[in-house]
Amino acid sequence: MFVRVVEVKTKPGKAKEVCGTLHEKILSTLKAQAGFVDEIVLVSDQEGILALSFWKTKQDAEQYKREDYSKVSETIQHLVHSKPKVHAFDVETSTCHKIARGQAA
């Protein structure tokens, strides 16, 4: 399993609005992607948002990045300070996805 971590520095007081946009407009795009597994969103009024999207494979996540991520980023651009930072990781362990020590789900 593979995860993309998107770090979003929101404008003051806009973190909840970004979350609302995520729920209303972006999750349906993610759910329609091949290999999409789950989305976890962490929110802090002071820090912004961390969005973790889980994918079956790195290739699935990269296809989403190539085909749809720029549209998603544009959707929230007016609510953020700068372009979101994206980090990518292999999932080593997850209790909710039943992954142990790098084993595929």
**CATH number of the domain that 66 lies in?**
3.30.70.100
Extended strands (E) in 9-94: 36-44, 48-55, 85-90
Range of 48's domain? 2-90
Confirm if 13 and 53 have CB atoms less than 8 A apart: no
Q: What is the pTM of this model?
A: 0.86
Q: Name the pLDDT band for 6 (thresholds 50, 70, 90).
A: very high
Is residue 104 in a domain? no
Whether the per-residue pLDDT at 99 is higher than 70: the answer is no
Residue 74 burial class via C-beta count within 10 angstroms: exposed 0-12, middle 13-18, buried 19 and up: exposed
Q: Name the pLDDT band for 104 (thresholds 50, 70, 90).
A: low
Total structural domains within the chain:
1
Is residue 105 in a domain? no
Tokens of 24: 């209303």
Is residue 85 in a domain? yes
Residue type, 13: G
